[in-house]
Chains A and B, each alone.
Chain A
Amino acid sequence: MMVREIEKTGIPVVHVVSMTPISLSGGVNRILTSYGIPNPMSDPYATPQVQERQRYEIMEKALEVLCTDIQEQTVFDH
């Protein structure tokens, strides 16, 4: 809901989310699959160094998705 309200103002949004079916049902346009509900930006089983890299990479990927032209609701994998 928050994503849709922000997009109404003309600002595109990437929803980084694990529960992609909820995003799709909610009408989100740019969806980026995350690692998990309690840990969206990295894998909690990975080492701290790997987690740091994962966070950086998923943020980079989110920025890339933000600039990607889409015609319909699209789910991107990290």
Chain B
Amino acid sequence: MKLRVGEFQVKDVVFGEETSFHDGILTVNEQEAIAALNPDGKLKDVKLHVARPGESVRILPINAIAAPRARADGRATFPGYTGKMASCGEGDLYALEGMAVISVGTHGGWMEGMLDMSGPAADLTEFAHTINLCFTAANVDPSEDDNSQKTNWDYRLGCCLLAEYVAKTVIHQEPDLWREYELTDTTGMGLPRVVMVLEMSTFYENSVGYDDVFYGVDVRCIVPTFVHPNELLDGALCSSSLVCAGVHSYTYNYQKSLVLKKLYEKHGKTLDFVGVILTNIGPNIDNKVRAAIRVATMAQMLKCDGAVYCQLGSGTSDVDFQKTIVALEERGIKCVGINPEFPGRDGTTSLKTALDPRLDAVVSTGSACEVIELPAMERVIGDLQSIPRDKWPGCWADDPIYGPSLRADGTLIVDTDHIVASTESTGWAHKTCQYF
């Protein structure tokens, strides 16, 4: 299975008559793009915006982020989701690099987040360093906005549809470079066999529409499954509506996982990259124990020597993290975990809710509880008033110590968990560690 990704470096995104790509400039026809992202008319007041790195722009509440990609052979970028069911992970994929597509709603909730294109928050996230084609919209059906837990279904699908629409314009053009992804034969090389274990959001067992989407299907009741890394690079997995912004792995993060790419880079050199096991975050203990058993059994059958486990979020998923790593280690498979920390604002809270001495190799993507002060921005894409009005992670209407998150002059005080993908664990956290 060989995937070729043709990368086009985007220097700017502008609006114009015809959607096209020349000399690094992506021109977008607004009406066509809006029609593409909102095929069923379930969103209203849809508007497009561009935010560039370094600009004084604040974007919120963000509910989905995707990387623009398209295929020349007519298959959907996200099979079973933005189009018909099809295979993915092989053939040619056309990719716009240096940019992201972001959807912005009207109400903050459980999974919404914020992004500043400049200032201190810009250092915390990859998406302050991409040119962002954003759309703002409102749900036609206001009941969609009633709860703090929302499916954001039409925004999430719209984001993927817009990403597919803009990328289609480069099909048949010659990219800046082709990258090839293939698990080449390593027979006889004696390299340690390593599998990537990726936690998906599978928490909302009782209702459809909240969890991650795999080949178009909601994964809420999934039992862990084994996939080719190319399938992840090629749109098989799209992101959920359930995870706090700071620790959220967006569709973009899955499509371009840096942990996955690093394992690929080392394949045939220092290790034998076996593939990816997608696993659960269960809503009950049986689900978690079952997932741990299934992951460990699959890894053993695949003759793995090591595993890299990317945890999604914290709290309940700490139990999946603990159970699965222990199950792997018990079968002689060495495991490294990658995860965010929630040490509390004073840094004294236990980092994990469930511990075990066999969790002895863990990479931290940083604390999601740091309180940061942010300057006012000249332009807001979305709605700044959602901060005091709505209940969403990392910000508050008022606080006895910190006061309100949003002040009259437009400055903010928020937790870093408010900033999109700032401590996510598939390789995108902008942090380094230092001993003192």
A39–chain B nearest beta-carbon distance, Å: 8
CA distance in complex: A76, B334 (Å): 32
By DSSP majority rule, is chain B's interface helix, strand, loop, or mixed? loop
- Whether the pair B206, A22 counts as a contact (CB closer than 8 A) is no
Counting CB contacts under 8 A, is B322 at the interface?
Answer: yes
Please report the total number of B residues contacting A with Cβ < 8 Å.
16
Within 8 Å CB of B284, what residues of A? 18, 35-37
Q: A-contacting residues of B (Cβ < 8 Å)?
A: 205-206, 283-285, 288, 316, 318-319, 322-323, 350, 352-355
- Count of chain A to chain B residue pairs whose CB atoms are closer than 8 Å in the complex: 38
Within 8 Å CB of B323, what residues of A? 21
Q: B-contacting residues of A (Cβ < 8 Å)?
A: 18-22, 24-26, 33, 35-39, 44
Within 8 Å CB of A18, what residues of B? 283-285
- Whether the pair B354, A19 counts as a contact (CB closer than 8 A) is yes
- Whether the pair B206, A38 counts as a contact (CB closer than 8 A) is yes
- Whether the pair A37, B283 counts as a contact (CB closer than 8 A) is yes
By DSSP majority rule, is chain A's interface helix, strand, loop, or mixed? loop
Within 8 Å CB of A33, what residues of B? 285
A3–chain B nearest beta-carbon distance, Å: 14
16 A-B pairs with CB atoms under 8 Å apart are A18-B283, A19-B319, A21-B319, A21-B323, A21-B354, A22-B318, A22-B353, A25-B352, A33-B285, A35-B284, A36-B205, A36-B284, A37-B283, A37-B316, A38-B206, A39-B206
- Whether the pair A36, B283 counts as a contact (CB closer than 8 A) is yes
Within 8 Å CB of A38, what residues of B? 206, 283
List 14 additional A-B contacts (Cβ < 8 Å) besides A18-B285, A19-B285, A22-B354.
Answer: A18-B283, A21-B322, A21-B354, A24-B354, A25-B352, A25-B353, A33-B285, A35-B284, A36-B283, A36-B284, A37-B284, A37-B316, A38-B283, A39-B206
The 8 Å CB contact of B206, one of A21, A26, A44, is A44
